[in-house]
Structure 1
Amino acid sequence: MMNRKTIFEAGLFCLAALSAQVVLAENPPNVVLIFADDLGYGDLGCYGATKVQTPNIDKLASQGRRFTDAHSASAVCTPSRYGLLTGEYPFRAQGGKGIWGPCSHSQSLLIDADKLTLAQLFKNKGYATAAVGKWHLGFGTGKTDWNKPLRPGPLELGFDYYFGVPKVNSGFPYVYVENDAIVGYDPNDPLVFGKGITPSKTTTYPPEAGKKTANQFGGAKKAHAIYDDEKTGMLLTEKAVKWIEGNKEKPFFLYFPTTNIHHPFTPAPQFKGTSQAGLYGDFIHEFDWMVGELMKCLEENGLTENTLVIVTSDNGGMFNTGGQDAFAAGHRQNGELLGFKFGVWEGGQRVPFIATWPGNIQPNTVSGQLISGVDMLATFAAITGQTVEKKQLADSINVLPALVGDPAAPLRDTLVLCPFRRTHLSIRKGKWIYIPGQGSGGFKGAPGTHAAGGPACVSFVGNVNSDIEGGKIKTGAPPAQLYDIEADVNQTTNLYNQYPEVVQEMQALLKSHEPAKPPASERTSQKKKKSR
């Protein structure tokens, strides 16, 4: 039982939290949103990892709040970023066509310039805004022309400054972009793409580093020479620190989407061999260092007390070759959760989420509130004292009370879960999760392959699921899935046959959310997309 002193202290904290919400608009905090790539639920010490050490992130958890039921907007990189920045489920994007997979090198900007984004929200309040890191949301209109200013892009979505990797560290073009131009671009040596070209040289790594698609761009030799995977993490951190120091005199919003820990696993040399989980774990160590450097910058510039820092991920961990090497060493990237990146099972989209904000978020606390990446828009609107029309808020819910207080009731009761395959768009309501098909709707490769996942890998890692035996869906398994996530967070038992009335209710609820099916040509196109 709580003693009187504990009750009194808790009461004082609640009063302080309520007071903080009242004065937020008068003294808005800086916000640093650190968005890791492929960081799984089990990839941090504060979430149970033992083969990797993450002291900087663990310190943040001890100073703030750790969420145990946080979810990315999608189990896939590009749509997850779309949902985070817009507050809209990615299946609603592009007029209902949706965004389901990673975008290609020629993809136009996927976010309409007139849509409210996190950056524009902050900019409307007078904040300085920057995105430093992986973009992966396309550039321009029509097919991207890399030899022209890359507009529209981040700058048209409310960011004052952008520096980073334009697509993904495993996919060409292997260059850096600053604002709307390729770093080191020479108009006399343009990027070229197509049959018959000689690809420009770029850094390569041994197989154990994981898949890096061979470069298919020629030209731009200087720009290609500047790009170096093993220096990217430190370079992005340096750019972010420099930007904070140059914008500390006014409120600022920094969106820091890292390339860590997406394959290829290319930590800087000083991090190699520092974990007990191979290059996968070493890349996590570099990510933890990056977080530590940002926190050090805030402290040295007297910014810690009035800065909200959030660390989360774009989706769950991927069971690629690096992930498999880490598993062989005893590391479980998604903890005991079922599934992996791309899939709708919990391992694909339940992610770490840590928030710290001195004086507002109670230190060393844990919350079981259901929250999503799409909720950041409404939450940041509340933090900055802005009223946003319902249409622009889209699917976003204000979860500020879960950050600064301890609500007795759930803030979010329903959440749509977005995997790679449209057929597996799923829904959660309260304790129930309904998946309208068998399997995860994600990767299906066998262990030993890059795109490993699905039933074969469930059995391989020792997870138990009532529909799966020997790495395959059992004959006669139910056609869809229903889980009681409160009693069975690891999704061991499909209750589809036991609760037909719940299934019927969940089917109707999902139908009320899901978009119309696209033309057959679009469905065929999606099937042909390569894994990233």
Structure 2
Amino acid sequence: MRLATAFSTVLLAMAAASQLVAEVTKPNIVLILADDLGYGDVQCLNPERGKIPTPHIDQLAAEGMIFTDAHSSSSVCTPTRYGLLTGRYNWRTRLQRFVLYGYDKPLIAADRLTVAGLLQKNGYTTACIGKWHLGMGLPEGEPDPKITDGPLTRGFGTFFGISASLDMPPYAFIDGDRFTQPLTTTKTWMRTGAAAEDFEAIDVLPTFTRKAIDFIEAEAKTDKPFFLYMPLTSPHTPIVPNKEWQKKSPIGRYGDFVMETDAIVGEITNSLKRAGVRDNTLIIVTADNGCSKAARVPDMEKKGHYPSADLRGLKTDIFEGGHRVPFIARWPDRIEAGSRSDQTICLNDVMATSAEIVGVTLPDNAGEDSVSILPALLGKPIPNQREALVHHAMEGDFAIRQGKWKLILCSHSGGVSDPKYNSEKSRTLPENQLYDLSADLGETRNLQAEHPEVVAELTKQLEKIIANGRSTPGEAQKNDAPIKLRKVHKIKK
């Protein structure tokens, strides 16, 4: 069952990758995180069943590497962002299900090392430009408060963005630790709340893009490497493509919004070239989870576009369509152009990868669920340092992936797809789902009855990962809260 590798082999592989990095200077790192972009929304990943043009992301893939088996640590927003920036699963914290809101308290503990903090300590200038959605010290009811415990206290030297999703108040830009305008009015984008007078949802993407380009151009003139984390607000709701992108896609407004998102990737990559830093920049484009039901998926499918490609499920779900995400990386002269990796990776791995790039070892209390994918980027196998990959659904349900096997510890989707977690139908189904992804990527044949030994072994392994407070080698750590392996949901008839 176990995919174990001899310790000596691991050390040799790590040493080889570290030697390759030692031969180059520290690269700039740009990470663009799209919001609710499905695996099948990227044309080069879904050429047969994708109908939305994404020429800029496709070009990036042609110049770099496509990862076909990349996963967010959760199928919804906040948990994935926590995992990406800390290298630790969100369900080890107080956030056992769902997401945070705009006025919620910080999820990342003040003393926890983040990717930004790690890079900052190793000579990088760090910036977050976009959607934070990880909580901050933001007093509700005050029109112009000083913001505490925001990105500036979690390793970022610069922050310009919004506190949460674009459909969550407060509706206002934050520059550093202050709103750019006081919250003097009320606005609604799905939810109603405090807002700045001049803030409009349609202006957010262009503003983020200008700020990101300004940052790149300024930092390119210095002798320090930079880390730009750019979590976009698209194509998440509200679906508000700008005028120049409206009616560009035959799929509708969602298609327009995806095309605008792709164009932003093009603007960022072009700015790197203009600034003269293209060749020493590792750029990654990925997403926080799968496509949302709010995109009106059935209507798009009628027009021939399948945002989850051949995968089952959507955002919120424990199925592959909920958490298998686009992941494309370009690093000229380091990553082979037009290459592809089928190795299983997770967004949590950004932490350990960043550490290996700068040549430092993470302490035991950081990046507990992160493995360096630097070898894969350089065309090598990833040493097997993680026992297995754990998936998490919106309602808190677990799955564990090891090799070809994926075990889901519930009878339902864990999210919005059928069978829903609160449906009568879910009562009639087995309490476990076991899929052989090598033969059944669409998760159509539940093999739990045929392979009880696999169910037992993977369940035991997940219990160990939870109990140890980590899924990688190192000293055991404590979780922040009690964790229930199986969730009990109220059944609605």
The verdict on how the C-alpha distance between 1:169 and 1:142 changes in structure 2, with shifts beyond 3 A counting, is closer
Q: How far off its partner does 1:506 sit?
A: 1.3
The verdict on how the C-alpha distance between 1:160 and 1:408 changes in structure 2, with shifts beyond 3 A counting, is closer
Q: Deviations over 1:392-418 (max 9, x none)?
A: 121111110011123287565510111
Q: Which of 150, 153, 159 does residue 153 from structure 1 map onto?
A: 150
2:191 is paired with a residue whose SS is coil
2:410 matched to which residue of 1?
437
1:392 is paired with a residue whose SS is coil
| Aligned equivalents of 1:429, 1:294: Cα separation in 2 | 36
Q: Deviations over 1:86-143 (max 9, x none)?
A: 00011112xxx33421212321111112111011011011111000001111111887
How many residues are matched?
A: 457
| Aligned equivalents of 1:22, 1:129: Cα separation in 2 | 22
1:90 matched to which residue of 2?
90
Q: Which of 14, 34, 37 does residue 36 from structure 1 map onto?
A: 34
Percent identical pairs in the alignment equals: 40
Q: Deviations over 1:476-519 (max 9, x none)?
A: 53221011111211111000100111111111112223379859
Q: Deviations over 1:281-315 (max 9, x none)?
A: 10010011100000110000111000000000001
Structure 1 residues 7-86: aligned runs within 5 Å: 20-24=20-24, 27-49=25-47, 50-86=50-86
Q: Deviations over 1:48-71 (max 9, x none)?
A: 153110111000000000000000
Q: Which of 90, 97, 102 does residue 100 from structure 1 map onto?
A: 97
Q: 1:106·1:144 contact (CA, 8 Å) conserved in 2?
A: no
Q: 2:92·2:483 contact (CA, 8 Å) conserved in 1?
A: no
The verdict on how the C-alpha distance between 1:263 and 1:325 changes in structure 2, with shifts beyond 3 A counting, is farther
Q: How far off its partner does 1:325 sit?
A: 3.2
| Aligned equivalents of 1:475, 1:136: Cα separation in 2 | 34
Which deviates more, 388-397 or 281-290? Answer: 388-397
Any stretches of 5+ residues in structure 2 without a counterpart? 1-15, 468-478
1:3 matched to which residue of 2?
none
2:170 matched to which residue of 1?
173
Residue 389 (1) aligns with residue 399 (2): no
The verdict on how the C-alpha distance between 1:238 and 1:161 changes in structure 2, with shifts beyond 3 A counting, is same
Q: 1:344·1:419 contact (CA, 8 Å) conserved in 2?
A: yes
The verdict on how the C-alpha distance between 1:146 and 1:392 changes in structure 2, with shifts beyond 3 A counting, is farther
Residue 402 (1) aligns with residue 354 (2): no
| Aligned equivalents of 2:30, 2:296: Cα separation in 1 | 29
Structure 1 residues 53-452: aligned runs within 5 Å: 53-93=53-93, 97-140=94-137, 147-185=144-182, 200-202=185-187, 212-217=189-194, 223=196, 225-248=197-220, 249=222, 250-407=224-381, 412=386, 414-422=388-396, 424-443=397-416
Q: 1:87·1:375 contact (CA, 8 Å) conserved in 2?
A: yes
Q: Which has the larger radius of gyration?
A: 1
Give the letter for the 1:343 counterpart. D
Q: 1:38·1:261 contact (CA, 8 Å) conserved in 2?
A: yes
The verdict on how the C-alpha distance between 1:416 and 1:138 changes in structure 2, with shifts beyond 3 A counting, is same
The verdict on how the C-alpha distance between 1:299 and 1:368 changes in structure 2, with shifts beyond 3 A counting, is same
1:482 is paired with a residue whose SS is strand
| Aligned equivalents of 1:91, 1:440: Cα separation in 2 | 18
The verdict on how the C-alpha distance between 1:511 and 1:519 changes in structure 2, with shifts beyond 3 A counting, is closer
Give the letter for the 1:180 counterpart. D
Q: 1:165·1:177 contact (CA, 8 Å) conserved in 2?
A: yes
Give the letter for the 1:39 counterpart. L
Q: 2:190·2:238 contact (CA, 8 Å) conserved in 1?
A: no
| Aligned equivalents of 2:40, 2:34: Cα separation in 1 | 13
1:462 matched to which residue of 2?
none
| Aligned equivalents of 1:253, 1:491: Cα separation in 2 | 37
1:455 matched to which residue of 2?
419
Give the letter for the 1:48 counterpart. N
The verdict on how the C-alpha distance between 1:17 and 1:504 changes in structure 2, with shifts beyond 3 A counting, is closer
TM-score, with structure 1 as normaliser: 0.81
| Aligned equivalents of 1:347, 1:85: Cα separation in 2 | 22
| Aligned equivalents of 2:284, 2:292: Cα separation in 1 | 22
Residue 488 (1) aligns with residue 435 (2): no
2:11 matched to which residue of 1?
none
Q: 2:151·2:159 contact (CA, 8 Å) conserved in 1?
A: yes
Q: How far off its partner does 1:19 sit?
A: 5.6
1:91 is paired with a residue whose SS is helix
| Aligned equivalents of 2:141, 2:344: Cα separation in 1 | 37
| Aligned equivalents of 1:258, 1:216: Cα separation in 2 | 21
2:380 is paired with a residue whose SS is coil
The verdict on how the C-alpha distance between 1:381 and 1:67 changes in structure 2, with shifts beyond 3 A counting, is same
| Aligned equivalents of 2:84, 2:369: Cα separation in 1 | 11
1:309 is paired with a residue whose SS is strand
| Aligned equivalents of 2:207, 2:303: Cα separation in 1 | 29
Q: How far off its partner does 1:473 sit?
A: 4.2
| Aligned equivalents of 2:34, 2:171: Cα separation in 1 | 19
Which deviates more, 351-360 or 49-58? Answer: 49-58
Q: How far off its partner does 1:472 sit?
A: 8.1
| Aligned equivalents of 2:338, 2:390: Cα separation in 1 | 30
TM-score, with structure 2 as normaliser: 0.87
Q: 1:271·1:286 contact (CA, 8 Å) conserved in 2?
A: yes
Which deviates more, 167-176 or 66-75? Answer: 167-176
1:463 matched to which residue of 2?
none
Q: 2:375·2:382 contact (CA, 8 Å) conserved in 1?
A: no
| Aligned equivalents of 1:201, 1:511: Cα separation in 2 | 46
Give the letter for the 2:69 counterpart. D
| Aligned equivalents of 1:508, 1:296: Cα separation in 2 | 48
The verdict on how the C-alpha distance between 1:336 and 1:145 changes in structure 2, with shifts beyond 3 A counting, is farther
| Aligned equivalents of 1:145, 1:139: Cα separation in 2 | 14
| Aligned equivalents of 1:76, 1:155: Cα separation in 2 | 24
